[in-house]
Structure formats: C-alpha cells, structure tokens
C-alpha cells in the first residue's frame, strides 16, 4: 500500500502548497488525481514518488519510509513516475540505452528481456535502436512509459502524461493504460482528461491545498455536477449515458469505451425484438 499520513508541503518560499493530506492507495487500484492548474497535483505526485520530501507528515510504500536514504533504491524499484513533458525524461540517443539507464542504476538484471517486453507493451518494439530525440512527442512519452515498465514497479504514477500529446497519440496512451489496468498494474493518474478519469476506481479531487472529495467510480453518475463545477469537460459518452438513465434505461458500464457502451445498447435492442 502507498500511504500518506498528514502530509503538508511548502517550497522554499514557505507558502503551503499541500496541507494535511491523508491518502491510501492499494495495490491494483487505478486512481485519478484531478484539480485545476496550480493546485499542487505535480507536487503531490513527486511526494508520492519519493522525489520531494513532505515538510510535515510521512509517506510509506509497503511500509517503507519513502525518504530514508537507505531505502532509495527499493523505493525507485517500487514506484515509477512519468512526467508531463516527454522531453524531460530522455537522456540518451538510443531508445535501448535510454531505457537501460534506470535499470543499470537500480542494478536490475535481465535487461534485454525487460526492455523488449516493455517496448512491446507500448507498441514501440520496432524502435529499440532508434534515436528517441527524433521521435514524436507521443512516441517519446510511450518510451518514457516503457522505461518505467521495464523496472516493473508496483506503483506507477503518471503526471498528466497526455497533456502535450496530439489526439492520435493520446488514444495510443489510453489504450496502453487500459491494458495495464487489465494486468492489475497500480496506476495513479494526475489528470484533467476525462478519458483517464474514466479508467479509475477512485477520483481524488485536490482543491485549496486539500483533498476536497473522493469519488468512487460507482458514484460517478451521481456526482457529475461536482466534476462539472471543477470545469472538467465531460465526454459526450457520459452525457449520453446520463440521458439514457434519466429516461429510465439502465446502463451498467464496466468499461467506459464506446465499444462497451454500444454492446450494451445493442444487447438491449436485440432483447426487445
């Protein structure tokens, strides 16, 4: 379990960014963290990843204190993070070397298989020998995701991974995330994109330095107004399901994709005929 107890944080200027955050994330969960710009989402993500030390309170990963020097490597193996800007994470001019860097730092063996498997998961297996600096932003981000996957961390944090990526690239990343979810990968999404929120079991809303709300996926349709108040753009699909439900058509969506929704509607129409 990833656990935050009474976490507060300020940067050097002393202004509190986060106050008294308590949060527990179980293995296998997919959790979204949403909030407007400047609410402290990236700060929170870095604290969870053990990169920033909370000013007060503590963070433990499977019971291990995330900030003690002696635990540095074990925390890095347990928690991986992908940042918003894909350019910031690439260091070497071959995809393989770039991915091997973290594996070397953590003294992880079986590097070739780890790299090949991770590239396959992000659909980039043909790019092992390419220069990552010459790839598109979406492809770079998929390499960053693969670099994290190669370490095989129990907890994966993604800080607005699709914000800078074009529509086509976003779809590819969503599809990777859906597959990872099926494989029971624990994912913590920092996001404002509804498609990512829809993958989550829980949605954590950050506001005024605190956790303002936690919405479970089952409650999503009851709490749409709260999301709208936060200026979260609800996809047409969600509005559509809401309208159907208001009209007395019960839709129990397990997977928030057009394919899943169509299947349910087709089933209902066929049953009526």
Ligand X SMILES: Nc1ncnc2c1ncn2[C@@H]1O[C@H](COP(=O)(O)OP(=O)(O)O)[C@@H](O)[C@H]1O
Output the smallest distance, CB 1 to ligand X, in A.
23
Output the smallest distance, CB 83 to ligand X, in A.
11
- DSSP assignment of 14-64, as one string? --EEEEEEEEEE-TT-EEEEE--TTSSHHHHHHHHTTSS--SEEEEEETTE
Among positions 3-22, residues that touch ligand X (CB under 6 A) are 11, 13, 17
3-state SS assignment for residue 256: coil
Q: Roughly how many angstroms between the first and final C-alpha of the chain, as a whole number?
A: 49
Candidate segments 41-49, 73-81, 192-200, 265-273, binder of ligand X by CB under 6 A: 41-49
3-state SS assignment for residue 65: strand
Q: Which of residues 42, 89, 191, 200 is near Mg ion by CB under 5 A?
A: 42
10 Å CB burial of residue 266 (0-12, 13-18, 19+) is exposed
Report what 43 binds from Mg ion, ligand X, none; CB cut-off 5-8 Å by kind.
ligand X
Spatial distance between the Cα atoms of 210 and 8, rounded to a whole number of angstroms: 9
Spatial distance between the Cα atoms of 206 and 195, rounded to a whole number of angstroms: 18
Residue 56 or 62: which CB sits closer to ligand X?
A: 56
Planar angle of CA 135, 141, 142, nearest 5 degrees: 90
Residue 203 or 261: which CB sits closer to ligand X?
A: 203
Output the smallest distance, CB 79 to ligand X, in A.
17
Among positions 162-181, residues that touch ligand X (CB under 6 A) are none
Candidate segments 38-46, 88-96, 211-219, 263-271, binder of ligand X by CB under 6 A: 38-46
Report what 35 binds from Mg ion, ligand X, none; CB cut-off 5-8 Å by kind.
ligand X
Among positions 12-41, residues that touch Mg ion (CB under 5 A) are 41
Which residues are near ligand X by CB under 6 A? 11, 13, 17, 35, 37-43
């Amino acid at each position: 379990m990833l656990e935050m107890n009474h976490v507060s944080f300020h940067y050097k200027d002393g202004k509190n960014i986060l106050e008294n955050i308590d949060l527990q994330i179980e293995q296998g969960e997919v959790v979204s963290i949403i909030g407007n710009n400047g609410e402290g989402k990236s700060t929170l993500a870095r604290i969870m990843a053990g990169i920033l030390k909370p000013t007060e309170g503590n963070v433990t990963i499977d019971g291990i204190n995330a900030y003690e020097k002696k635990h540095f490597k074990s925390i890095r193996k347990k928690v991986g993070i992908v940042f918003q800007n894909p350019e910031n994470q690439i260091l070497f001019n071959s995809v393989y070397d770039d991915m091997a860097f973290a594996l070397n730092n953590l003294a992880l063996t079986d590097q070739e298989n780890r790299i090949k498997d991770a590239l396959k998961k992000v659909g980039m297996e043909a790019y092992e020998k390419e220069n990552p600096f010459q790839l598109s932003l979406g492809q770079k981000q998929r390499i960053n995701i693969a670099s994290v996957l190669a370490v095989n961390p129990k907890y994966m944090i993604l800080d607005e991974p699709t914000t800078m990526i074009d529509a086509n690239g976003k779809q590819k990343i969503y599809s990777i995330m859906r597959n990872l979810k099926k494989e029971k990968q624990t994912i913590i999404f920092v996001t404002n994109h509804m498609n990512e929120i829809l993958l989550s079991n829980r949605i954590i809303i950050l506001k005024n330095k605190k956790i303002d709300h936690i919405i479970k996926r089952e409650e999503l349709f009851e709490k749409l107004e709260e999301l709208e108040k936060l200026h979260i753009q609800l996809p047409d699909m969600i509005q559509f399901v809401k309208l159907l439900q208001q009209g007395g058509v019960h839709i129990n969506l397990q997977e928030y994709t057009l394919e899943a929704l169509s299947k349910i509607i087709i089933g209902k129409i066929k049953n009526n005929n």
